[in-house]
Amino acid sequence: MSPILDIRDLRVSLRRGGHLVRDVSLSVDAGEVHGLVGESGAGKTMIAKAVLGILPDAARITGGVVRFRDDDLLQLPPKRLRSLLGREIALIPQDPLTGLNPARRISAQMTDMLRHHLGQSRGDARANALRLLQEVQIRDPEQVLDRYPHELSGGMRQRVLIAIAFSAEPSLIVADEPTTALDVTVQKQILRLIRQMQERHGTAVLFVTHDLGVVAKICHRVTVLHTGQVVEQGGIADIMSARATPFTRALMDATPRYDQPADALHPVPEHIHQELRATARRFDEANP
């Protein structure tokens, strides 16, 4: 079975020079949760944005292929890409506060895609939105629909965003650090919710995060990233074991866990950073 998302040698560079993503390859199978892990600035968000076609103006794609099913997303004409997005590919953003339009009701933001892309009537779309809100375990979905984002809590807003992502039954969801902006107690619930929905709908998820602890909870396979390069790739069991590379093991040690005191943290040793940065520099010299 061919993977649903197949990224080959993706290269993202800044317009003014310098690379952010250095020939990264990864693949996601149907129904798989694939973790994309790294520290801040490792390039994971750039990869996610490149897949979705929403790179910031200052960056551009300078090489590689992003295959979604049979299409190379990077070569698609804009109209075709727009029809794919939303229906087949969706996004769960990092910040539920800014991810919802403060000036529009929840119902509008949940039903607009259903009505526009899937041609549903207003009544049908609203019924579907209600069903989805129930699925993400929101009480009083009728009331929530008629509210504005500022009237909901952060956890509820993130559930709404998750509902929006799953609403058109996409084959792939990109989750960009969906729990980072939430309270620790809420994080676990949201993670569990995402996993449940993903299993129920059979959706593949590209899960971007800096937290290996999170990865351990819900991912099947993992790609570990540093300075825009793939450091390690494999099944969750391998990544989490002693067979992993030094960087990955160091990353695991550096990950805060609430059952460990803070001074038990060991930041990733500098020499590992140096080695990986050196690799990046060699890449840059070979590819100006």
Partner 1 sequence: MSGSLLLRRLVQAVPTLFGVSVVVFVLVRVVPGNPIAMMLPPGASLEDMERLRQAYGLDGSIPEQFVIWLGQALQGSFGISISLRQDVLELVLGRLPATLELAVFATIMAVTVGVLAATVGVLFRGRWPETLIDAINGFTLAVPDFIWALALILVFGVLLPVLPISGRVDPRLGTEFATGFYLIEALVSARFTVVGDLLAHMIMPAIALALPLAAIITRVLKNSLAEAMAQDYVMIARVKGFSRWRIIWVEALRNASIPALTLTGVQFTFLVGGTVLVEKIFSYPGIGNMAIDAVINRDLPLIQGLILSFAVIFIVVNLLVDLSYGLLNPRLRT
What one-letter code names the amino acid at 164? I
Q: Whose Cβ is closer to partner 1: residue 7's or residue 230's?
A: 7
Q: How far is the CB of 264 from partner 1 (least distance, A)?
A: 35
Q: How far is the CB of 133 from partner 1 (least distance, A)?
A: 17
Residue 47's nearest CA partner among 77, 70, 26, 28 is 26
Contact between 85 and partner 1 per CB under 8 A: yes
With contact defined as beta carbons under 8 Å apart, do 4 and 69 qualify? yes
Sort 242 into a burial class: Cβ within 10 Å, 0-12 / 13-18 / 19+.
exposed
Q: Whose Cβ is closer to partner 1: residue 75's or residue 83's?
A: 83
Residues 52, 172, 204, 272: which binds partner 1 (CB under 8 A)? 52
Q: How far is the CB of 158 from partner 1 (least distance, A)?
A: 12
Residue 129's nearest CA partner among 90, 99, 159 is 159
With contact defined as beta carbons under 8 Å apart, do 146 and 110 qualify? no
Using CB under 8 A as the binding criterion, the count of chain residues that bind partner 1 stands at: 32
Contact between 82 and partner 1 per CB under 8 A: yes
| Contacts (CB under 8 A) with partner 1, residues 175-234 | none
Contact between 69 and partner 1 per CB under 8 A: no
Selected range binding partner 1 among 34-42, 68-76, 105-113, 242-250, rule: CB under 8 A: 105-113
Q: How far is the CB of 150 from partner 1 (least distance, A)?
A: 6
Contact between 287 and partner 1 per CB under 8 A: no
- Strand segments (E) across 82-189: 89-92, 172-176
Tokens 């800014």 sit on residue:
98
Taking the C-alpha atoms of residue 169 and residue 174, their distance in angstroms, rounded to an integer, is 13
Contacts with 233 (C-beta within 8 Å, 6 or more apart), sequence order:
26, 221, 222, 223, 224
With contact defined as beta carbons under 8 Å apart, do 173 and 199 qualify? no
Contact between 273 and partner 1 per CB under 8 A: no
Contact between 117 and partner 1 per CB under 8 A: yes
Residues 98, 241, 260, 287: which binds partner 1 (CB under 8 A)? 98
Contact between 276 and partner 1 per CB under 8 A: no
Chain residues that interact with partner 1, rule: CB under 8 A: 52-54, 57, 82-87, 89-91, 93-95, 98-104, 109, 112-113, 116-117, 148, 150, 161, 164
